[in-house]
Every structure is written in structure tokens, then in C-alpha cells.
Amino acid sequence: MMETSRGKPILEHQGYIYIINKKSNNNKIIWCCRNYRHNQCRGRLHTIDDQVVLTVGEHNHEPSHLPGEVIASRTKMNDAAKQTGQSTHDIVADCVSRLSDHAISTLPNLQHVKRTVQRIRRRHQNPLSLPVNRDSLVIDTQYIKTARGRTFLQFDSGPIDQRILIFSTKKQLKMLKNANYIYLDGTLSSIKSLFCYCCIQVLT
């Protein structure tokens, strides 16, 4: 059995990918096509003890040509992200190096694969709890520097109630300094009420 990047079981059968629709007590599972929700595909199948016993309905689309080895390697990357301390780069490089050329040609670009691995790791570790007030907020070191080790937290007014934090790289500040126009945006309604967030974008 394989897993989606969100850790849900998936089943590949004759080029179609299925997700669990219903489970019953006697190890029987009813699977529906992964396209069920978005494209109303009616393709289904039943398994008992992981063996396909019945296929029902017809798919309204062609089978996916995503090779099973790609799905299996995703599962492997997910597991490595959750269970090992390997770097994202090593996890992806290790899995991709074992794939056939055909399988590699079906992958999204590697940056995308790496971001997925990072997201899974973050979700799994969930190391930080949400702050309850501004003055006791401790900023984890992983947010103070960029992935390349450069300063990202440029300004911190310190643990006071009217706290101001400025996140930027030096390069971005330079661009800001030289910009002719500066646009501001804030996502005030969608973030936690503890902070207001302002994004500065520079168009030169």
C-alpha cells in the first residue's frame, strides 16, 4: 500500500489511482478513483485483505501514466522526511537516483519535490506552538537566518507589547533602497490577530 503526500493510503490498479472511500470490518475496503471529487469519476474497486476482488463503474478519463515506482518513491521520501534527519536535498537525490529515466521524466521539477518533502517534515514535526502574546514570543533560530545562513530577521524591537519585526535579506533591502516605486500590502484579515503583517514589494 502506498501513501499520498498527505499520508493517506492510495492504491494503483491498472494505471488508475484510488483513495479509500469506505472501510468495513471484514478487511474489505471500497476505493474510489482519485478523480472522484474533482471530476466526478465513478471508477471504484473493492479489496479484501489488500487483494482486488471487484472493479465497479467506469472511469471518465484515461489511466494515469505515472509509473508505480514514482508513487512508491514518494512514499519513501515521505517516510524519510518524517523519520530521518537526512537533509531534504539528500532525501530527494537518493530517491530520484533510483528511478528509471522514464519515471524521472514524469516528475514535477525537483524544487517542487523538495518543497513537498519540506512541508511534510514541518507538518510532522510541528515543533513550534503558536505564541499567545507579543512580548513573550521567542523567535526560533530557523526563522532568523535564510537557508543559506544569511540574516533574515533584520530588526526586532525586543520583547515589548508594540513589537516590530522586520524580515528581509540584505539584498532585498538594497533593492528597496533603490526602488522608484514601493507597493505595500497586508493580509490583515487572514492572519492571527496577534500580529499585522505588511508585505513590501518592489517593482523597478
List of residues contacting Zn ion (CB under 5 A): 33, 35, 41, 43, 59
Residue number with CB closer to Zn ion (43 or 67)? 43
* Shortest CB 11 distance to Zn ion, Å: 12
Phi and psi torsions of 134, nearest 5°: -75, -35
Give dist(CA 101, CA 25) in Å, integer.
42
Q: Nearer Cβ to Zn ion, position 58 or 90?
A: 58
Rounded least distance, CB 54 to Zn ion, Å: 16
User: Phi and psi at residue 140, in whole multiples of 5°?
Assistant: -65, 145
Assess contact for 109 and 92: CB atoms under 8 A. no
Cβ nearer to Zn ion, comparing 42 with 114: 42
Q: How far is the CB of 189 from Zn ion (least distance, A)?
A: 38
Q: How far is the CB of 113 from Zn ion (least distance, A)?
A: 24
HSE (side-chain half, CA atoms, 13 Å) at 122? 9
Which strands, in side-by-side order, build the sheet including 9-13? 2-3, 9-13, 16-23, 28-33, 44-48, 51-56
- Return the number of the residue (35 or 88) whose C-beta is nearest Zn ion: 35
